[in-house]
Amino acid sequence: MLPPNMNGTTTAQHSGFIYQKNPIATSSMTTKDDTKQCISAALVLFGVPKAFQYIHNAYIQQIVKRNPHVCFKAHMHMYNDLHQKPFINIRNEEKNGKIESPESIQAILDAEGGIPAQLSTSSQSTFDEANLSWMHENITQNFPTKNKLNLQTMMNVFRQGNSMKEAFISASFAFELQKQQEQQRHGYDMYVFARSDTLLITPIDIPRSGIGDRDLHIPGWHRWGGGNDRFALAGPIAANIWVSAKGNVFREMILDPGETLRSMEKKGRTGWNGTLGNPEKMLRLWLDANDSLNVTRGGKDWAHVIRVRMGGVLQRKDTDAFKIKQKNARDVK
């Protein structure tokens, strides 16, 4: 089942050029059902890539190579118009940065030692015009001033959510094509959601039995009173719910927080106190309202990811929290 508004076909937002390494739609794939040995997993990469050479290598080392019983394929989405002009993010103190082009990202994905990968692109400006015209400064009034959530920050939440959704569509659509061609039931057993601007510094071990269809594993650190969205392992059903949060539900929360959150509170254990708080809290409200999910928050040492800024600079708050001395992604081994 695809998430809301995902019908298995490419859309205007998903009409960017698509690179493929070992085209997934026509390649054979060994699944857990076929051999009882291989768990099929989609590595879903999304967001704005920064120092991607080091980030991609970390995912390969910390996830792929540590789990030889899992058959990975990568599905990545990025915006194809960000590299055409200087990149600015005031909150992160990033000014006049340069985003890597889709061609350079594809070269990294295709490098020896990687995994089969599909890269899809779309225009951020087109997405903004079609989907974010409702956003204005007044929407931030539902968030406490101390969180410093300005309009750009909130827009970036939705841009990132759309990028995740587009990468997930790519994974789902690829398997639909393969199923039609081979007349067999194929599908990923699990999904690994990882940002293209975070550096994973701790290993991820996946059980040989895999995870359940409704299982969702997220970090337990940096929750800010809610749920950490920087990394996730999800079964097929849980993946659909996870993807829909920023793509659909957050908009409803912001536009009509009272009605939306009261409705969620009736279904789950939200403990809503009348304010949205921050995106992490919004995520927790959504997860708590979905009783069909089996949510596991990892321990303090699970899935440490460090946010990477322009030039490979590591976010100071993250390095301090994880006691990392290095200041740049290239120096982390």
pLDDT tens string 17-47: 333 333 333 233 333 444 457 899 999 999 9
Region 1-18: what's the mean pLDDT? 35
| Least confident range of 54-68, 173-187, 232-246, 302-316 | 173-187
Q: For 280-294, write each residue's pLDDT tens digit.
A: 888 888 888 888 899
Cβ(74)–Cβ(46) below 8 Å: no
95-122: per-residue pLDDT in tens? 778 899 999 999 999 998 899 999 999 9
- Dump pLDDT digits (tens) for 198-210: 999 999 999 999 9
| Most confident segment among 10-24, 58-72, 176-190 | 58-72
Burial of 279 (0-12, 13-18, 19+ CB in 10 A): buried
H/E stretch holding 78 reads strand 70-79
Is the overall model pTM greater than 0.85, yes or no?
Answer: no
The token duo for 175 is 């398997």
**DSSP assignments along 270-283, one per residue:** ----S----HHHHH
Q: Tell me, what DSSP letter sits at residue 127?
A: H
Q: What is the pLDDT of residue 144?
A: 56
The tens digit of pLDDT for each residue in 142-158 reads 665 555 567 888 899 99
CA distance 258 to 186: 41
Of 41-50, 241-250, 263-272, which one has max mean pLDDT?
Answer: 41-50
